[in-house]
Structure 1
């Protein structure tokens, strides 16, 4: 039975009026200066509206906001909040009506964002496009949204035009490449696209994007020879092109020209125009290539180290570690895993793989210390307690092993195999302490669980 005092206090707190501190928390999302010079009565209604919205009672929030409008009919913040509450109720026409009233009073980016999202939610892409064009005056980053909206509205030529502009301004990225692929798949008229691109190249041979788009279409069609020749043509027209090497390295690999392929890969890695995700894909291809051509391992290490410095990402350490582990070069793999953990201690999968490898190669002190640090980040992960227990047993620190393994068992839920490992390590620890009785008990428990698995 619940404590009556607890129930009384619970009711008491729910019945309390909104305090000044609570108001401060509720209006954290609203700058009080935006309200202007308003009366205390206005503020009470407004804070009540925010409180009701916070507990998803949107109808009551609207009533409170309408009370604000009776006191002050030209407050953009009130109309903006009304729009948000109507949108939560999926009354989109009322939401847009209030957003537009707010925008008429104050030209603000956040109001335009809500208008854009509302039009997009209702599938009115024509109006969403107009909203995004306005938004771009505040923030040009919305240009990528514009391309996406053109695609959704089946204005494919406009979408491709915007994508070309973005690639020229910012360099290629994986998201826009996928969008192009979707557009080409939807239109299906590749012959017309090829004709348009060839005409564009003839009229403006300096336009790199036309070549790149043509290479992509030929590649999608499986016409690698035409794609390769187009890439070479681009390189001849623009010897300084970096983007063309995203295609060239693969063509060279397929033609068994490894030196040319490695050279193209290096150019990709050094380019500031190419996004990190595309570089990771090239690196994966490089890893596969070195796997079959170990003579190029020195070049792999060289470009990988440079890429780590340029892109400053621990993901590369992890990928290199996996590569060396796959090739049974455990010390090399561990070196990269440990560098990755140093940069990204919140990566559980990398932590787990590093600990397993440290234990396997006999680096038990490092495993003990790393698992201890990792448990501060992942205190409810039973696998980390187990690995620390293994490391401690290997170091003959049996008392500490018993303590950490016993503690870790509290986090173990419905995992018989892991439970077997815990009991096996506890048997080893108690035997090390000379407690043969407890060691035998845990050994017997291990045998019982093994029979359950049969």
Structure 2
């Protein structure tokens, strides 16, 4: 069976809307009570009440509650006071206190929309979904918009069958909407109902053929199910409908790569890397796919460098070379790894980890002149990092420049703090240095010091 085509669409748009995003989309506006609802009150009551409103306005909810409690002592049966108490407790996420206050407001002034909305929100935030559902149903006679709140609560409480029935009813009465279609997509994805998921995406495309997201989500579902023909046809259809779209190439480049159409794949990748509307993480995943391709097809190394350069410029992200270098280093392809590390250093000399890794690899591959030049630059930028002196000293030892090696290694030792392993490495290098200088006594001394530390570490 042909390998699945895994597409990076999800990283850019996502097949699923988060429940938080849906909640924001349907969030009900803040309810404010009309002061006229207070009824006949004393001057003292008004003073406390307006103090409460002032404190709530500056988000000082604890002080607002204190003022409202004074109002309550004056008029314990005033529904507005209990409503305001509930709102302030809600703001403090003290739902166990907010709910009784709002329930009392509802008893004192039954069937008020502004009270019911706040009570529904309190039950919802307290995760008492059954009560939240009951309140949402009571709100439906006021306005059909509360169906969306009801749908959201049913979704969060995982009552998918009830939610689908509600969506069917609303679609029948009001026609399809993107919001409800999005909920269906989530439900079918979460319940692994792929045929229904595909159908709802096809319906969504019919509902709004100008929405790129639905095409991309459909391509992803087809790809996940190894329905490559359908996925590619959808991608090509999307390209016809959106001829200037660069997002579609998040799907197309993968098909082109798998089909051996490298030129077309490269063209798609370049379009992706140039697109401002595509996020950096998705771009990096595209580059990573091409990196894997080049690893099996080394003749395209120059093209990889070209697209990496594009990414580095468009996203101001020279770290891409470091990632490529680390990839090849894990595969023990040290020369390739070093090439990418050095490209990264050219653009980002202040990256200490990249500096250290580049120097260690230069030393390992006996690129001694390069290591010495780079270590000098590194020490200027990071003068208190002992490993830089160690690397330079080791490079000087390899070049048999022992006098300078002794100086730099001794200097670097002053920066070591509680690092026994690195101290032993310094002593090893100093032993080599003094052997080269013909000072056998000091060479033996440093060799024994190194051996003693290594013994204590085992």
Kindly indicate whether the alpha-carbon contact (under 8 Å) linking 2:342 and 2:358 is maintained by their aligned counterparts in 1.
no
State the alpha-carbon separation in 1 of the partners of residues 345 and 184 from structure 2. 39
Q: Which has the higher contact order (CA 8 A, sep 6+)?
A: 2
CA offset digits 1:180-233 (Å, max 9, x no partner): 998654232221221122123345433322211111111222322221121112
TM-score scaled by length of structure 1: 0.58
Matched, 1:255 2:242: no
Residues 119-268 of structure 1 mapped to structure 2, 5 A cutoff: 122-123=126-127, 152=156, 161=178, 185-268=189-272
Aligned to 2:171: none
- Deviation of 1:291 after TM superposition, in Å, equals 1.9
What root-mean-square deviation, in Å, do the aligned CA atoms of Structure 1 and Structure 2 show? 4.5
TM-score scaled by length of structure 2: 0.58
C-alpha spacing 1:164/1:432, structure 2 compared with 1 (3 Å): farther
C-alpha spacing 1:447/1:119, structure 2 compared with 1 (3 Å): farther
CA offset digits 1:81-104 (Å, max 9, x no partner): 6699x9999855569999xxxxxx
Aligned to 1:145: none
Kindly indicate whether the alpha-carbon contact (under 8 Å) linking 2:324 and 2:337 is maintained by their aligned counterparts in 1.
no
Work out which of the residue numbers 275, 286, 295 in structure 2 matches 1:282.
286
State the alpha-carbon separation in 1 of the partners of residues 186 and 425 from structure 2. 49
C-alpha spacing 1:408/1:89, structure 2 compared with 1 (3 Å): farther
State the alpha-carbon separation in 2 of the partners of residues 430 and 180 from structure 1. 75
C-alpha spacing 1:446/1:151, structure 2 compared with 1 (3 Å): farther
- Deviation of 1:303 after TM superposition, in Å, equals 2.0
Kindly indicate whether the alpha-carbon contact (under 8 Å) linking 2:338 and 2:362 is maintained by their aligned counterparts in 1.
no
C-alpha spacing 1:437/1:293, structure 2 compared with 1 (3 Å): same
Aligned to 1:316: 320
State the alpha-carbon separation in 2 of the partners of residues 196 and 181 from structure 1. 7
Q: What runs of 5+ residues in structure 2 fail to find an aligned partner?
A: 1-47, 66-88, 102-120, 133-151, 168-176
Matched, 1:355 2:355: no
Q: Secondary structure at the match of 2:335?
A: coil
Matched, 1:401 2:400: no
Matched, 1:439 2:443: yes
- Deviation of 1:328 after TM superposition, in Å, equals 2.3
Aligned to 1:421: 425
Kindly indicate whether the alpha-carbon contact (under 8 Å) linking 1:409 and 1:422 is maintained by their aligned counterparts in 2.
no
Q: Secondary structure at the match of 2:60?
A: helix
Work out which of the residue numbers 283, 306, 329 in structure 1 matches 2:336.
329
C-alpha spacing 1:198/1:324, structure 2 compared with 1 (3 Å): same
Aligned length: 326
Higher relative helix content: 1
Kindly indicate whether the alpha-carbon contact (under 8 Å) linking 2:386 and 2:413 is maintained by their aligned counterparts in 1.
no
Aligned to 2:83: none
CA offset digits 1:428-448 (Å, max 9, x no partner): 334455543222111123345
CA offset digits 1:403-433 (Å, max 9, x no partner): 23422443305x4xx4442220121334455
Residues 32-111 of structure 1 mapped to structure 2, 5 A cutoff: 74-75=54-55, 76-77=57-58, 79-80=60-61, 91=94
State the alpha-carbon separation in 2 of the partners of residues 423 and 163 from structure 1. 70
Kindly indicate whether the alpha-carbon contact (under 8 Å) linking 2:334 and 2:361 is maintained by their aligned counterparts in 1.
no
C-alpha spacing 1:330/1:192, structure 2 compared with 1 (3 Å): closer
State the alpha-carbon separation in 2 of the partners of residues 227 and 295 from structure 1. 29
State the alpha-carbon separation in 2 of the partners of residues 205 and 78 from structure 1. 44
Higher alpha-carbon deviation: 440-449 or 273-282: 440-449
C-alpha spacing 1:402/1:242, structure 2 compared with 1 (3 Å): closer
State the alpha-carbon separation in 2 of the partners of residues 445 and 181 from structure 1. 67
